Structure 1
């Protein structure tokens, strides 16, 4: 497609992640991070250029529960192999969880940063997230204004200080 050609001209390269014959193109950015260029889909018509942030995990249902509670996003689809959340306002990209074999072995190259609602207390938000199964994470961040946590599947994320 025209988009794939434009991305390759910018430095993306074809990638094989074992996808087989699928109706999308898998590419890697210049640092080797894989991403997919999808064929047009009605479900993604109003997401903007980033249709979805996809997270590999062991249990999509558990991840959807955790992140649904964490973000107050709406569950759109849930099976044993796939779960999808999106902002309750129906805007922006989807957050999708895909069952993948194996155990997470390396730090994530991409992580989510959460921003508490205006007027919320960061420490109270961190405590709330721990009740859903988040755990403290020390990645050598030192004295910073955000808090690093891991979700129940071990994915890193940060809670920013509200402005």
Structure 2
């Protein structure tokens, strides 16, 4: 039994506008497979995508607070010229400069039209085969503890763990990375962005949820009511969902 990260879940006041922005930003397209909007690679719609993490954009009534998101996306570039071109194109799409408090850095920090921070990274060899989405990055107090939980919770492989950061990636060696970075700030508001995890066909979602509780996850009631997924939080309070298994 195990779980796979299936998608990035992103809340939005205007799901269509946010979905269009991220589709243009990543060179992907929009799908409306059900009640929510999905941003995924160009081509025939496949869910869950076998390589990358698509973005499921969920309409909510609450706007983002002024508090910096503790989960953000990093975008990959292939050259300095590509980085500069991508930043300019994103600005034209409605992105705005954002300060992430890290001082001078070779990457550029922007925010999407609803204020969700993200980074356009300088070219890095480690991201040469990730596709446009380089990483999902999570601020945390203890990367080692996060590595223990998420390495146990999912079938992704732990690539690096130090006091400052932990890095996981699909065992197939494809798609984006999942990074946990040590930061001094603490979690004060619900995450605007979180991961959705998916059991493999034939696995028992209730057993998976019980296994996550044993690893240190807790159940969350966010007013979801009677739904086929389970809302949980990791040991530092980062929300995530365990979805109903695919057929």
TM range (shorter): over 0.9
Helix, strand or coil at the partner of 1:32 = coil
Number of residue pairs matched by the alignment: 163
Please state if 1:75 is matched with 2:154: no
Q: 2:205 aligns with which of 122, 134, 151?
A: 122
Q: 2-side partners of 1:23 and 1:77: how far apart?
A: 22
Q: Which residue of 1 aligns with 2:123?
A: 40
Please state if 1:13 is matched with 2:96: yes
> Could you list the runs of 5+ residues in structure 2 that have no partner in the other structure?
1-83
Q: Which residue of 1 aligns with 2:172?
A: 89
Q: 2-side partners of 1:81 and 1:111: how far apart?
A: 21
Q: Which residue of 1 aligns with 2:217?
A: 134
Q: Which residue of 1 aligns with 2:193?
A: 110
Using the size of structure 2 for normalisation, the TM-score is: 0.65
The structure carrying a bigger strand percent of its residues is 2
Q: CA deviation at 1:56?
A: 0.3
Q: Which residue of 2 aligns with 1:54?
A: 137
Q: Deviations over 1:70-125 (max 9, x none)?
A: 11211111110111000111011000000111321000000110000111011011
Q: 1-side partners of 2:200 and 2:210: how far apart?
A: 15
Using the size of structure 1 for normalisation, the TM-score is: 0.98
Q: 2-side partners of 1:9 and 1:19: how far apart?
A: 24
> Could you list the runs of 5+ residues in structure 1 that have no partner in the other structure?
none
Helix, strand or coil at the partner of 1:142 = coil
Q: Which residue of 2 aligns with 1:146?
A: 229
Superposition misfits of 4+ residues, deviation over 6 angstroms: none
Q: 1-side partners of 2:158 and 2:110: how far apart?
A: 28
Larger relative contact order, structure 1 or 2 (CA cutoff 8 Å, min sep 6): 2
Q: CA deviation at 1:40?
A: 1.0
Q: 1-side partners of 2:100 and 2:127: how far apart?
A: 23
Please state if 1:25 is matched with 2:108: yes
